[in-house]
Chain A
Amino acid sequence: GAVVSQHPSWVICKSGTSVKIECRSLDFQATTMFWYRQFPKQSLMLMATSNEGSKATYEQGVEKDKFLINHASLTLSTLTVTSAHPEDSSFYICSPAGRGVQETQYFGPGTRLLVL
């Protein structure tokens, strides 16, 4: 299967700071990138979908100005949590997909964010 990496694997930051999470598809051209978030004891929830070179589409209830997604290349997408607050503490997972609809999705190992 495809190899997907995320960096950092976990991060602790102070409230009000911004945090950037990188997602790389190491052997896979990710024309589409899905970003998920998981709160403790809850399901993974889709936050946004981005296509390479275009703006991301955000799910209802997800603030696009707070969660900035950049998908400038086929191998790298970034999620920046701006002015993070304790309620943004969560587990963030990226999932790249290739051209067209795929039955199997690949996932990064996730980034755990703790905002103090």
Chain B
Amino acid sequence: GDSVTQMEGPVTLSEEAFLTINCTYTATGYPSLFWYVQYPGEGLQLLLKATKADDKGSNKGFEATYRKETTSFHLEKGSVQVSDSAVYFCALSGQTGANNLFFGTGTRLTVIP
């Protein structure tokens, strides 16, 4: 079945460091891929998405490229800020559409000044 494997955390980085959070997936067909972020005390928010192979999603300095050949959707940011401290979830939409999301376990990122 469909599934997502996400890099385990927690991850602690200094401000302005480079961030990579790995995500690989298993799916039949051609799912859409998402990164969600959850800030403390808030609900999950969509950070970026990609709907087909080689698409690059980007938002707030974060990027992720849909790599069908490696079934990956790694999240990257060139220079993290303290305000990026949150939990990041990789997800894919199942065959039945975007309302059937499969999530990774989440990666907690802490950025220290």
Contact = CB atoms under 8 A, between A and B. Distances in A.
A105 interface: yes
Residue with the greatest number of chain A CB neighbours at <10 A, chosen from B36, B44, B45: B44
Interface string A1-36: 100101001000000000000000000000010101
Interface in B62-113: 89, 97-106
B43 A34 contact: no
A6 B42 CA distance: 10
26 contacts: A1-B46, A4-B43, A9-B41, A32-B99, A36-B103, A38-B106, A42-B105, A43-B103, A43-B104, A43-B105, A43-B106, A44-B101, A44-B103, A45-B103, A46-B100, A46-B101, A103-B49, A103-B98, A104-B98, A105-B44, A105-B46, A107-B36, A107-B44, A109-B41, A109-B42, A109-B43
